[in-house]
Structure 1
């Protein structure tokens, strides 16, 4: 039997380098070879192959048994363009279709609402209809402007009154956006649940809390992580939306709407971070389980490569 070979591009900060070594070791134990740090930025497409030059050896990426892309912070349009092409000929984790869906907040919310999942009320406006935001503001009282792509809370702007909206609109007109996406601000306790799912299985959960006087729970926006146990309803909700979106690996952000008294899916992340060394010290101990499930998933997909094309 020909030895299986995969490509991997996993973030290296926050303990990612150590996580990568563990994954590679476990894959090696299963006789799966890994080409690590495979950044599609350095690949070129030529005729019928996508080629990556490493140590003067041109590797045909389209001949790999699988490509595992897990680096949110360094993505570029060129990389995702090749990601889409590779997805048509080899198995990917995550698939490009699932990646593309969950990278777009509007598309995700629209899709989930079509399947009966609670998300924040939203409005998508054409750039020439920005005046409609004033009518939305009068109805909702408070709302959040969100770029439809991006991560870590970057670009999120809370709008609490007409004056704040009047200040935002000139900015939106200047940045040449094609459309504007806003969500109704949900009355919650400034904490959330982050549920990690791999291959349909529950991996772990933790909570995030906004800094005092702020509302964003994202760590990159000043929020902090704390230990938090989920109930069965939250776990099943996370599993359901992961399956619906087609993600192999997902981090599902859930908050509790105090006014409607229901859980709301706030966001789905296809590249949820592993616990950092500091977070492991405070008790977040799901990394090993997550690694094992990812290795099992890669093993399964590479054994059944033809089923995933």
Structure 2
């Protein structure tokens, strides 16, 4: 019988369709199942963790394609279920601890810093007044980021003190955590490395649209294939390792003041549409093949 894999997803968009296509390439059965459909049974017989009547304790691997929004209870339960799958010997890509670390910008940045990797100076807290002190200490040019978020959504660059105070107070009023990061001067581009099982599968240079500072392709950035130099590759691999990620999208930013790279963040549920288009790499097939080999 062909290997049986499950992808925990949110919706049926391009990435899900690409995984379905790739499952035919690698010769496996793939069930894309909505993350919120996870249900557990305990007692009265063998334990089960299932989604739409598929027992995940009986499959050959689980790919965490997306962690959809939810309440604190819902997200914690989903992570608990992933931990139980891992404890029962089911390969989970990414491992739940990596997902937990990478989805939280503060925790992942702290792990990167503890590993000795260069990261942007950053302040995290809950007080708008303290955030203003940090704004000035960080040079008066910062990026306010949601603690949980991806694809450049919700990022605000602030260089005007009045606007910064308004933004910080607005975040404070909704009981949000303020994640304030020094803006790193650059030449309008950054690097995205896709790490899989201890190697860089491929990389792209992302260039921001004219007049913009965010390079995300989903926001209009341009991607081109890139062969990383040894230093960039070393940083990408160490960044993924520092958060325990077997699969990772690592964002590296060249600091135009120093010429050095800094590690912006690590994404443990990375997309690959731009990477595949720019490089021709069949990322989806590589992910499924890695899960199959891991199981064996």
The reply to whether TM is greater than 0.5 is yes
Of 267, 283, 301, the match for 2:294: 301
- For 1:9 and 1:68, the matched residues in 2 are separated by 6
Match of 2:245 in 1: 247
1:227/1:65 Cα in 2 relative to 1: closer, same or farther (>3 Å)?
closer
- For 2:48 and 2:267, the matched residues in 1 are separated by 30
Match of 2:100 in 1: 100
- For 1:51 and 1:274, the matched residues in 2 are separated by 27
Of 263, 278, 285, the match for 2:280: 285
- For 1:75 and 1:192, the matched residues in 2 are separated by 27
Match of 1:307 in 2: none
Cα distance, 1:167 vs. partner? 1.8
Pairing 1:174–2:167 present: no
Match of 2:157 in 1: 158
Q: Which digits, 9 at most, give the CA deviation of each residue in 1:151-174, with x for residues without a partner?
A: 111111111021121221331122
Task: Give the SS at the match of 2:157.
Answer: strand
Task: Give the SS at the match of 2:33.
Answer: coil
Task: Give the SS at the match of 1:22.
Answer: helix
Provide TM-score, normalisation by structure 1.
0.83
Count of residue pairs brought into register by the alignment:
284
1:46/1:226 Cα in 2 relative to 1: closer, same or farther (>3 Å)?
same
Cα distance, 1:145 vs. partner? 1.0
Q: Is the 8 A contact 2:22 2:285 kept in 1?
A: no
Match of 2:208 in 1: 210
Cα distance, 1:224 vs. partner? 2.5
1:3/1:228 Cα in 2 relative to 1: closer, same or farther (>3 Å)?
closer
- For 1:211 and 1:71, the matched residues in 2 are separated by 27
Cα distance, 1:102 vs. partner? 0.7
Q: Which digits, 9 at most, give the CA deviation of each residue in 1:162-194, with x for residues without a partner?
A: 1121221331122122x3211111111121111
- For 2:18 and 2:208, the matched residues in 1 are separated by 28
1:242/1:169 Cα in 2 relative to 1: closer, same or farther (>3 Å)?
closer
Q: Which digits, 9 at most, give the CA deviation of each residue in 1:6-39, with x for residues without a partner?
A: 32235743364134322344143xxxxx341122
Task: Give the SS at the match of 1:100.
Answer: helix
Cα distance, 1:262 vs. partner? 1.1
Identify unmatched segments of 5+ residues in structure 1: 29-33, 304-309
- For 2:108 and 2:267, the matched residues in 1 are separated by 11
Q: Is the 8 A contact 2:61 2:292 kept in 1?
A: no
Match of 2:48 in 1: 49
Q: Which digits, 9 at most, give the CA deviation of each residue in 1:235-267, with x for residues without a partner?
A: 121112112222111111101112233100111
Provide TM-score, normalisation by structure 2.
0.86
Cα distance, 1:67 vs. partner? 1.1
Q: Is the 8 A contact 1:197 1:249 kept in 2?
A: yes
Task: Give the SS at the match of 1:131.
Answer: helix
